[in-house]
Structure 1
């Protein structure tokens, strides 16, 4: 592998590792802890392995009891290792055969392999420049739990996995279901050796190999190379050595193993998460949520109070002065709701009725419907997360809606331009009426006192004082009635403006406490899917 291709491979590996890390972090609190921990373990192993010797390829020999694994290890390694191995009564702990000592110690420490043998060069296989570590490992079906734990750990740590099978137990379910099938993504760094073929009649070797190929193909390992060997006769040992030497010389096994680990971790996260994207938040759903929350928060009652308050104030400002004082005995609806203030933003709460069970049920239903629509299409765990985000501030929502209403400027103290004109004319009409009455009163008093009564001016035969009384009375009543019609129309307009402002305030509260948390979860899902896709791209 040349320097440029190695740099590209390292960069690609960095990108995939970062993407897996991003996916793991984004899945926190949503996906099962086990899946997240497995991804974290892959990241930790990758970080540790890459910090150690990149010049050594670690090849682990795995097999069941009686598979001849140790014998094959000795045959592949050479006489010196065979001599060292012969002193071990059983394979109870890992044994390392090391070629290329520089940098191997820290790597073997990380592997927790204490039994090390620095081997002599083997012609056509390994020398000091090759950088190769062969591990003879305990039997994966050992009755000792400690041995099985070593195998499980090494399966996740070595660069290349060599599975040594024997002709009698090559289809063993414990091996295939427990190890080979779960490592289907690791085909590029897996080698299967059918050992002890000397025990088979020559005509049975190929059928057994074909059967083994078919089993592996069914497990997704159809691309794995399968070799036949015999440690006893030496048959196939050269081919096994050549296959191991090839991966050692290319020095790509480490990165390929890590890439396979990343692919497996990404696949496991995808399985835990499920596939799919959320439908997202549509404008209609956002509007519907705000409308339902507005009803639950008594916005219609406030809007009615705005109209009623305006009409009442109009009567007080423009009604017939003789009778308008009666309106003072009527309580302003907005004042009753604690919403008539020159500084609404300073209010903490309104006097609207506290949200009861029906209002809470309506609020919950609106939030649930909104979350369901936004999370449509998302996989199960993420749908639950989106729904949970929508309900996260359920207890705060009623109070936030009430404060939103309290903080809305309803223009309750804003005077209408026509009030002043109507009020001035009303008082003028009253003065004319009072002037006419006073004129007639003076005339009546002079007659009563038998004093000379002056001639009263007339218009078209009608006495001016009488006309003044009639005119003032009719004008005052006309203005009062007209003012009511104008007030009704203006009240509807002011109520409509108040409704828009209240709905906007409610929508802002819903945006903060419902929409934004949902948007955040939907965005997290999108980022998770993107990171997972990048991590899985080999």
Structure 2
């Protein structure tokens, strides 16, 4: 691995040589005893070693700042007679604060992940979980600092630009590739230790820029990270780039005239990060190698490529990526970048914008599992269709017809002529009279428990309920319906026996006794008229055929007329009796189907509605997508 060059040195020996006092003295002679950068670098190393020996990881950031101040104070004390001064305590910066809309979106995303864990796999929710973890971690750290990474391809000159911005040679540059082997950080102010710890950059790779009032005023709060080449041949270098890019607040992409259109850069980084345009700088470096008109053409083509990548360009005070052209070698355009970067850092909004863009990206990835753009749910029509199918499966209509026939048979028995009833009894000997429950359980008994009809009804309602839902939620709805259908056929079979007609004869209306008495009177007239005629034939009574014949005719004609009238009058009550029996059976079947199938399906739909509303809050709209 390449060694990082200390502050103020273009190339240095291994730091382990410093354990040799004579070697250290030789180096001081070679580099010059008056070189402050070398002394600062050695003080930085000693301070870091001392902190490691003490196991102190909670103090001020070990970036060489303490060593620098110690040297400056020692020099000042020597100038005023060596009066000892005590170092001022480091002020802990205030943590980052998110505004109301961003907090609301993060809360909604957290609620969304919680509601979805039972329905979605961990891989689908991993990016959303990462955003929540990183947003919480970033919020606990300094809100006065902005972490900006400089990224680029091999030979783009990003390390040279890093050194120019720092005002001192920190990151090694050269023709050997890859040159930068590990991220190097440089901070312009105190209090950034937590942020740098989060990046996983050790103390030996932490530096301070050249101290000046102008730089402090312009870039105060900036934490600049020089990354390895994103197209490095070393896999670990690319892994470090990806890891740090996921943690920084903003990024400066450095491209050169030869690789600005590189497919790896655009397809792997720029295009996926199009939503992060507001926290992105794209710098065309090495314009000193191009004629002026050629530099303009290359810059315009770079803007065109960024537009094709979907990256909004921050032109005319519009939010978007800042695109600049410069030369880190000659310094042309560096001042413009430094000014834009200073204004960007001074706004103190990059971290929140980065988190907001991460939430947007997570929402885009989750959209297929929460929103399809179609209306979904269990309509009233689907419920009624399911109830009708269950009623058909349980034989509710047939049970109602059987109840109606039973009521009519009972009316015929009560109001029919004795001779007709005797004739029916004679022909119906040995046959079971299908009254009450037996009348209900005929052919419908086979159809009510038909598993095929029940399964078809469940399958149909699950398809209609899941239509338009994203795949995971549609699957959850279908599984809920299938679980509810287990044992449904048997339950409906038992229900048909309990909810059908009660055993025995159907109830009689109030006019039945009068009809029975009238029919009995007609029979009595027939008997009286017949006995009268027999008496006349036997000579017991005086001959008079008119009266007995009239009595017999009245009884013979009146009996069937009364029976017919009662039958007509019984049709209405019989119809109502059958409809009532059918209604009870339909309601019982509907209640069983609702408890076993519709309610679990509705619960899944309600859960999806809740997550859809939460997803709507995540994407920043008032109502969830339909």
Q: Distance in 1 between matches of 2:324 and 2:304?
A: 14
Residue 268 of structure 1 corresponds to 365
5 Å matches for 1:105-504? Answer: 105-115=193-203, 116-117=205-206, 119=208, 121-126=211-216, 130-223=220-313, 224-271=321-368, 273=370, 275-278=372-375, 280-320=377-417, 323=421, 326=425, 329-332=431-434, 334-336=436-438, 351-353=445-447, 355-356=449-450, 359-360=453-454, 362-363=456-457, 366-367=460-461, 371-372=463-464, 391=482, 393-408=484-499, 410=501, 415-418=507-510, 420-422=512-514, 424-425=516-517, 428-429=520-521, 432=524, 436=528, 462=547, 476-504=559-587
Match of 1:92 among 158, 163, 181: 181
Q: Which consecutive unaligned segments of at least 5 residues does structure 1 have?
A: 1-5, 341-349, 448-452
In structure 2, do the counterparts of structure 1 residues 95 and 480 end up closer, same or farther at CA, with 3 Å as the change threshold?
A: same
Cα distance, 1:108 vs. partner? 2.7
Contact kept in structure 1, 2:286 and 2:329, CA below 8 Å: yes
Cα distance, 1:178 vs. partner? 0.2
Q: Distance in 2 between matches of 1:23 and 1:135?
A: 34
Cα-Cα RMSD? 4.2
Cα distance, 1:333 vs. partner? 5.3
Match of 2:155 among 66, 78, 82: 66
In structure 2, do the counterparts of structure 1 residues 100 and 454 end up closer, same or farther at CA, with 3 Å as the change threshold?
A: same
In structure 2, do the counterparts of structure 1 residues 377 and 83 end up closer, same or farther at CA, with 3 Å as the change threshold?
A: closer
Q: Which consecutive unaligned segments of at least 5 residues does structure 2 have?
A: 1-95, 314-320, 622-626
Cα distance, 1:135 vs. partner? 1.6
In structure 2, do the counterparts of structure 1 residues 407 and 194 end up closer, same or farther at CA, with 3 Å as the change threshold?
A: farther
Between stretches 150-159 and 25-34, larger displacement belongs to 25-34
Task: String of CA shifts for 1:243-297, please: whole Å, max 9, x gaps.
Answer: 3222222110110001111111112222555541315444444333332332233
Q: Distance in 2 between matches of 1:481 and 1:236?
A: 111
Cα distance, 1:423 vs. partner? 6.9
Contact kept in structure 2, 1:293 and 1:366, CA below 8 Å: no
Q: Distance in 1 between matches of 2:594 and 2:273?
A: 46
Between stretches 421-430 and 195-204, larger displacement belongs to 421-430
In structure 2, do the counterparts of structure 1 residues 478 and 83 end up closer, same or farther at CA, with 3 Å as the change threshold?
A: closer
If the length of structure 1 is used for normalisation, what is the TM-score?
0.79
Cα distance, 1:137 vs. partner? 1.9
Q: Distance in 2 between matches of 1:187 and 1:90?
A: 28
Contact kept in structure 1, 2:404 and 2:574, CA below 8 Å: yes
Higher normalized contact order (CA 8 Å, seq sep 6+, divided by chain length): 1
Equivalenced residue count is: 508
